[in-house]
Every structure is written in structure tokens, then in C-alpha cells.
Chains A and B, each alone.
Chain A
Amino acid sequence: MIIKSLTLKNFQCYFGDHVDNAFYFKEGLNLIIGDNASGKSKLFDAFFWVLKDQIFNADERVFVFTRNYKEKLISDKAKRNAQVGAKLNAEVTLIAESSQETLYRLTRIYGARKLDERQWEADSQSKLLVDEDKLGRWVPVRSQLHDSVLRRVISRDVEPYMWFQGEQVDGLMDLTDKSTLTNVINVLSNIQIYDELLTISTEGRGRAEKALRKAQQKVTKDQDRADSIGREIDAITLEIARSETDIEDYRASLETAKDRIEELVNQIDDAAKKTELKKEAERLRAEMIADEASLNKRLSGIYKNLFTKYWILRGSQVSLDRYSDKYKEYFTRHNKALAEATASRVRELPRDIPQPIHVNQMLVKERCFVCGREAKRESEAYKHILNLLSPGDGRSDEHVFANDGSKFFQKLYNNSLELKRTIAGVDESINSEFSLIQQYRGEIKKKENRIKEIRGEFTELLEDDSSENIVSAFRTHEANREKYQELLNRENRKLEAARVRKIQKVTELDSLVTGAVDELARAEDRIYADLVEVIRSTRNDVFDSLISELEDTANELFSEMTRRNRAITGRIRLKRMATGNYAPEIVDSDGYVIHSTNDSNIILVKLALIMAILMSRGKLSENYSLISDAPTSKMAKNYTVGFYEALSKNFRQSIVMTYDFLEGSSREEFSNFNMGRVYSIASEYPSGDRMDRSDLRVSISEVSL
């Protein structure tokens, strides 16, 4: 709804009746300009009080319920003027118009009775009246419907972002505040839907898994074993769930430690040195990741070498030699048998050719003993010598032996000869692979150490210009970072091992299955597993796209707001924390975080984000009014105009209390903005005594542009 007017009666410093303290608003940017202590904040309080029945206690900086604030709510001047015994009321009336052009009037009343000059008996609670304009007359709205009207004036979910005071801006975008920003993002993106679907499908998956196991156990050949495996699987599943929870916790703690370190590091003044060290650390880390990948690749392939490089044969030479001997014996006897059995077909080796046993020697030595020449393996000479051993010229000796194994046994023999050299070289092959792996490990270790050194250098830089507390805090967080990284690594390994064990058990269970498992149970198990992953992934998609949308809008706004002042650079980024929450940061073109001690940059960023959030679902900036008290209080002068311009362009209605534009001349800027109404207020002490609080009232005048 759009706010049409706010009138006050004896509300805090606003002495007088509604007609004396009236503000009328239009669409566009509405300003209430006043110096400090002019009543601006009390005006913000009035909006708040009507809607929420709470008052901001400036001394203690908390919101209190009306019943606890009591008669302080009522104008001092009015209280002084009242007779003893009289009842006084403080009232605030807000009139708002819905998109259907229905007018609603909300009035909150709180009273107290004067007992004596100093004592008041305040009401136990305030009263809210809600009326609806029906054909020009105010008609009361039933109390059950009050809440629905209130909710249309300001949306509960984003209330902190639409109605805020300047000093709250920091807190709204606070790193350590887990809930606010994430809650808002949740609301804006309907992420709840996906969370609920995820819960539903996860439940279904648990049930389907159990059902499948039951179905498997039905057709199992060993019921007892299947039952026991089923129980083991349950135990491991529990273990896995516990590990996953622990990992989440460790990750969160690790991120927190890293963030704290980052914060502290950013307090170091030597910017150049800092950036240099940071960049080196980043580079080393990237290299380490690549090295680890290479190392893992080598390690995962290493077992293949057992077979592709014949490592498995190491130590088998003795046996193979024994085979050679056995083969030679066999061969001699085999030939003898041949010779004896087929006298007419005795093969005669040419006279000047050595006996087979010598031929073997020649092959091993790779040298012809006859002519003394080299006969390297694969050479023609070698092949020639090899041929001398072959049983022959194709003539079949079938009827000599029932099963002639000579070709086969020779194949085995030749094979082992050929591999002899390879086997001899296995040691070296293994060693060279090991040393390569050691090399990778060494490189990684070296880089790890250098990164540790860099951290040490940061500590030194920190020590040079920081207090004891900061240095000790730095050390604490460093220690935590290491601790949680260790824990995380260990837990991840445990989780992996548990997962492997679960799969083994499931495989075992499967192997016991003899019959056909109920197909329905199988299908359900599979589909639910798929559903869970798909929903989880889609949920992340939704989130990511919203974040990116917010970043884009915020950056557009940011440029708009800073175009008058080139000094601010950088891009807004929403960083996802391990806890699942988001925190804003400004980064340079390399993606490095810019931390300046200049507060106004940060405030501007946060305001840009707040506005981006409210604009992301057009409805919010269209249907609700942004109300803010001194939003630019922490901002440098030159940025404020940019902020107001962005506000006037992007919000249907905004109402801002500010001390900007106190000088008439500065109001020239307004001519380009989409303006509502502008008021100027000041505190007044009619009797002239500015120390007399009970004389205080506010003077209001409209400014024409």
C-alpha cells in the first residue's frame, strides 16, 4: 500500500492535535528534512509504533513494547498542561491506500491518567483502530481482519529492509547475522518450495531403500546372513549421516576461521605487500591443486603397471629359469622319442649346427657361437637361430604323440625368454615411478611450506602495526583453521571409507539374491534416489540465479549511485559462506576483496543491496513504501545525491527523514527526481527556554520545490 498521510497527537515531541502534526505523502521520494533533535527519529518511531506497537528506546538501543515504555510516549508538554486526574492520550494515525484504491485508516491510541505532578497511571496496553473508507465514510474493520490489513502496509518478511534507520544498515548486512539476509533471500526466491520437496523426497527415498532391502531379503538364499547384512547397512547409514553432519560443522568452523583471518589480515596497512603475498599464496594454492591432481592420476594408474609393465613378474625369474631347464629336458626327451618312433623320419640336423641345448644358449646370449656374430633379439640372425629349434617342416607327428604339446611348451619357453630382460628391468621401472611420485609429493610439500611461510609473514606484518590482541587473535584463528582442516580431512576420509563399505555390503546382499527382486521395489528405489538429486540440484539453481540477479541489480544501482564520484570502484559480490548464508563484499577486477577503511563505500554497497533485494520481486518496491530515518548518516556527502536519485527512480514511494538538504540551495538537485512532498521540521520551545523539555513541540512546514 501507498502511505497517504501520518498525523500525530501528543506523541513524544509532537505536542498538539492531529491537525497540528500532519504529514501528507505522494508517490515518489518524500523527504522530511530536519536537523538533529528536530523530531525526525520520533517520526520514524511513529510509523513503527502504529504498525508494531513498539518504541525504539534510544538510550538502551532496543525496541520496547508500549506497555513497558508507558507514559514516556506522551508529549511532555501535554502532560505538564494536564490537570491532575485527567486522562491523556497519545495517538498516531496512518492512512494508506491499497492498489485497489481502497483507503485504510490505522489509529493507535495509548493513554495515561495523571495521578499527581509526577506520577501517571498508564494503560496496560495500547489500542488499535482500523477503518476502511466505504463511499466516503470510515467504517470499522473487524479486529480479526486487522492483521491482514497491517501486513499489506508492510511485508513482515522484508520489514527490516523496508523500514530502517541509518544506523541499522550495517547490521542488516552483517556477516555474523546468520538469519536476516538468508531469510530474505529465502522469501524472495520461494526456495522453501524446493526445501519442502527435498524433505518429502528424502523421506520417500529412505522408505524405498528399506523396502528394496526387504524385497531382496525375501528372495535371498541365506535369510540370516541377509538380515545381518541389512543391520550392518543400517548401522553404516547412520554412521554416514553422522559424518555428514560433522563435516558440515567442521566446514562452517573452518570458513569462520578463514573469514576471521581475512578480516585481521585486511587490517594490515601495507597494502602493496599484502596484495603481493596474497597473490603468491593464491597462485601456489592453485598449483598445489594441479599437482595433487597429477599425483592422484599417477597413483590411480599405478596398479595398472603391475600388468602393463610386468611388475607383477618381479621375483619370478627363478621359477621361469626352472621352467627353462624343465623345458630343455622335455625337449631333449621329446625329440629322442620322435627319433626312436619314426626311424625313417629322423631329422638330422645339418652337421655344422649345434645341438639344441647350445642353440638355446645362443638365444640367451644373443650371439651365434658358430660364426661369432651378434644376434640381437628381433634381428634376422636371431630369428634364424630360433627357427633351428622349431620342430620342423610342417610334417605332422601326430601319430607319434597322442597330444603333441611341443608347440605350446615352446611358446611358453620363448615367451619367458622374451620377457627376461623386461623382468630384469622391473626394479628400475618401479623405482623410477616411485621417485616421480616422490617428486610430486616433494613439490606439494614445498608449496605447502611456502604458504605457511607466507602466513608467518602476514603475522609479522600484523605485529608491526597492530596491538597484542589482534596478533593473538590472529594466532588463535590460524590454529583453528589448521585444526578444522585436519578434522575435515579426517572426517572426509572416514566418510569415503564408510560409503565404500556400504556399497560392498549392498553388493554382498545382492549376491545373496537368488530370485528376481520385486521390480517395483527396484524402480522406486532408483526413482527416489534420482528425485532427491534432481531436487537438490534445482534448488541450488534457483538460489544461484537469484543471487546473480541480486548482484546484477545491486551493481547497476551502485554504478548509478556512484557515477558522480569516480573514486569508488569495484563490483559487489554476494559470497556464499559455508554455513549456507550469504555475505556481501566488494571485489576488484581480479576478484580480490577490497577492504577499505572508508565506511561510506561499505554503506553504499549495503544500501545498494538492500534496494536490489526490494526490487528483485518488483512487487516489493512497487507495493510497499520504503521508510528510512537518516539512511545516509554514515555516508560521505558526495554520495548522498546518488542514493536519493536511485531511490526516487526505483521505488514507487519512499519516505526519508534526513538532515541532508538543510540548505535550500542543495535542493536544486531535486528537480530531476521523481519527488513526492518535502517537509522541513524543527523543534520549538515557545517560551524560549531550550532546556525545558516540557515546552517542546515540533514545527512543520512544507517546502515547495
Chain B
Amino acid sequence: MSKIESRVYRINPGYLVQYEEFIRSHAQFGGGSEDEKYRQARTFSSVYELYMYAFFIGLKRAARKAIYPEDRLKTFWEMENWKPRDLVDCLLACAISESNVDMNRLEVLGEAEMGEELSKVRRTIEEYANGGIVYLLGLFEKEPDLVEDEMLFIRLLSEQD
């Protein structure tokens, strides 16, 4: 595996801490808890699934949320652990294309600078994912009853642009 590849997969994107509640209500955390009472049906069986969904919705809706240095983000898992890999690869391809990372320049940079350049990719992922979350939150705020709609997330995808 090349250095670029391993650095890219080690990207650990985060969500803004104020979205914690949203994440918790739609995704299941961890798998290690023995207590049965924590295993409740959620839409997404893991946080990264929800995150990927949010990214693609953000992408589709062109909902990109600007992230500032003073923002606090919460991370959860490096992307190398996300499944399925081919979906993750698509996500990365989209992120690379939407960011202004210079693929050729990457190849000649030193370690530190490479990290900096790659952070553009991470930032792009975060901006679209958090943008997607904002979009979803906005929907629920306008229409709180939407939480009852079992097909919502799928319908959102198939809606015409």
C-alpha cells in the first residue's frame, strides 16, 4: 500500500458535537455492550453508515457546511474500518473531486505537507457530511412527524434533484 493510500484510509472525519443527539437517535453505537437493552432498532446499524449517508445526501443537495478551526468535532472511527470498501472508495473519489486537492502535487510532497494537503480531503468529507446532517435536521424541524416515516431516508435519495 502506498503512503498516500494508507494516509487516506486513516482519515477519521468527525461530526460537530452539537449533532451528537441526532447521531445517537439514528445510529447504533458500538457492538460490545452485553446488555440487551442497548440493542434497539435504529435506522443505521453503525455511526459510519449514517455518516456516509449524510455525506451523499449533502453531496446530492449541494449542502456543504463550512467548518471553522474553532468548531469542535467528534470523531468515531478511521475510514479504513468502514464497510463496504467499494462504497468508501466511491466516497473518497467524490471527496477528492470536490476538494481542490492537487493529486499530482501530493506525490512530490514531504510527510508533513502531504498531511496538510490530504486534510483538504478530510475537510471536504466533513463539510458534506455535516451539511447533510444539517439538511436532515432542517427537515425534521419543519415537519417533526417525519421521524415516523420509515421510508424517509430512502425517499430522500430517490427524489428528483
Contact = CB atoms under 8 A, between A and B. Distances in A.
A408 B150 contact: no
Interface residues of B, number: 48
A517 to B, nearest CB: 13
Contact of A312 (B43, B53, B104): B53
Interface stretch (B1-9, B10-18, B65-73): B1-9
Contact of A408 (B2, B25, B37, B60): B2
Contact of A334 (B43, B90, B107, B110): B107
Interface in B70-117: 83-84, 86-87, 89-90, 92-94, 96-98, 103-104, 106-110, 114
Given A334-B104, A337-B104, A314 B94 contact: no
Nearest to B3: A403
Contacts of A327: 103
Given A407-B2, A407-B5, A427-B158, A323 B107 contact: no
A308 B153 CA distance: 15
Given A303-B153, A306-B154, A312-B56, A402 B94 contact: no
A386 interface: no
Interface string A287-329: 0000000000001101101111011111110011011011100
B8 to A, nearest CB: 7
Contacts of A326: 96-97, 103
B139 to A, nearest CB: 16
B151 A323 contact: no
A284 B107 CA distance: 68
A506 B56 CA distance: 31
Contacts of B150: 299, 302
Nearest to B60: A315
A508 interface: yes
Given A312-B87, A320-B94, A430 B154 contact: yes
**Interface residues of A: mostly helix, strand, loop or mixed?**
helix
Nearest to A411: B89
A: contact size bracket: 35 or more
Interface string A482-499: 000000000000000000
Contacts, number: 140
A682 B13 CA distance: 101
Contacts of A334: 103-104, 107
B86 to A, nearest CB: 6
Interface stretch (A18-26, A118-126, A258-266, A412-420): A412-420
A673 interface: no
A401 interface: yes
A441 to B, nearest CB: 11
A181 B4 CA distance: 79
B5 A314 contact: no
B131 to A, nearest CB: 14
B153 A403 contact: no
A357 interface: no
Contacts of B161: 315
A308 B84 CA distance: 8
Contacts of B24: 504, 507-508
Interface string B7-41: 01000000000000000110001000000011011
A429 to B, nearest CB: 10
B47 interface: no
Interface in A315-370: 315-316, 319-320, 322-323, 325-327, 330, 333-334, 337
A229 B52 CA distance: 30
A409 interface: yes
For the residues of B in contact with A, the DSSP-based class is helix
B15 to A, nearest CB: 15
Contacts of B1: 408
Contact of A403 (B2, B84, B86): B2
A411 B5 CA distance: 10
A212 to B, nearest CB: 12
Contact of A405 (B2, B38, B60, B83): B2
A402 B109 contact: yes
B104 A323 contact: no
B5 A316 contact: no
Interface in A146-176: none
Given A322-B98, A333-B104, A412-B92, A315 B29 contact: no
Contact of B52 (A312, A409, A415): A312
Contacts of B53: 306, 312
B2 A314 contact: no
Given A323-B96, A415-B86, A430-B157, A409 B103 contact: yes
B29 to A, nearest CB: 7
Contacts of A302: 150-151, 154
Nearest to A431: B158
Nearest to A433: B154
A406 B158 CA distance: 34
Contacts of B93: 319-320, 323, 412-413, 415-416
A503 to B, nearest CB: 6
A600 to B, nearest CB: 54
Contact of A315 (B38, B59, B92): B59
Contacts of A549: none
A235 interface: no
B42 to A, nearest CB: 9
A334 B106 CA distance: 11
A315 B90 contact: no
A662 interface: no
A432 to B, nearest CB: 12
Contacts of A411: 89
B25 to A, nearest CB: 6
Contacts of A333: 104
B114 A403 contact: yes
A314 B57 CA distance: 9
19 contacts: A315-B161, A316-B94, A319-B94, A320-B97, A323-B96, A326-B103, A330-B103, A337-B104, A402-B114, A403-B108, A404-B4, A405-B106, A407-B2, A413-B93, A416-B93, A418-B86, A427-B158, A434-B151, A508-B24
Interface of B: 1-5, 8, 24-25, 29, 37-38, 40-41, 43-44, 49, 52-53, 56, 59-60, 83-84, 86-87, 89-90, 92-94, 96-98, 103-104, 106-110, 114, 150-151, 153-154, 157-158, 161
Q: Which 7 A-B pairs have the closest CB atoms?
A: A405-B4, A323-B97, A315-B60, A319-B94, A408-B5, A330-B103, A322-B97
